[in-house]
Amino acid sequence: MQDLTAEEKKDAFEYFSATADCSFKGIQLKGKVKFVTSFPDIKIQYVTSFPDIKVKHVTSFPDDCGEWQIVESFPDFEVQVVTSFPDLKVQLVESFPGMN
């Protein structure tokens, strides 16, 4: 996935805000995730306020929106943590994960 323009990010944010859809560019934001350093499906930035999605790391059954199980093989999607120009801003939580 290439870097998105500001307009594409705005459109995507408005889309999942309006529809409460838990996906980004067709990728469901739940399930098994692998952290990579290059060629990610999604670039994320960790924030403490105003996130696009709140994420809870779980050890099994990542079935609900915002529940991510960290794996090394057979991921549903791959993410790269960046400090600038993310596709999504993520806040780690212990309860109530999901889209904002």
> What value does the mean pLDDT of the chain take?
90
b/e for 79-92, b at 16 or more Cβ within 10 A?
bbeeeeebbbbbbe
Q: Which residue has the higher pLDDT, 78 or 8?
A: 78
In a domain, 91, yes or no: yes
The strand pair at 42-46 and 88-92 is best described as parallel
| CA dihedral of residues 8, 53, 75, 11 (deg, nearest 10) | -10
Using a pLDDT cut of 90, give the percent of the chain over it: 78
In a domain, 79, yes or no: yes
In a domain, 49, yes or no: yes
Question: What domain count does the chain have?
Answer: 1
pLDDT digits over 34-62, tens only?
A: 999 999 999 999 999 999 999 999 999 99
Q: Domain of 65?
A: 6-99
Overall average pLDDT of the 76-100 stretch: 96
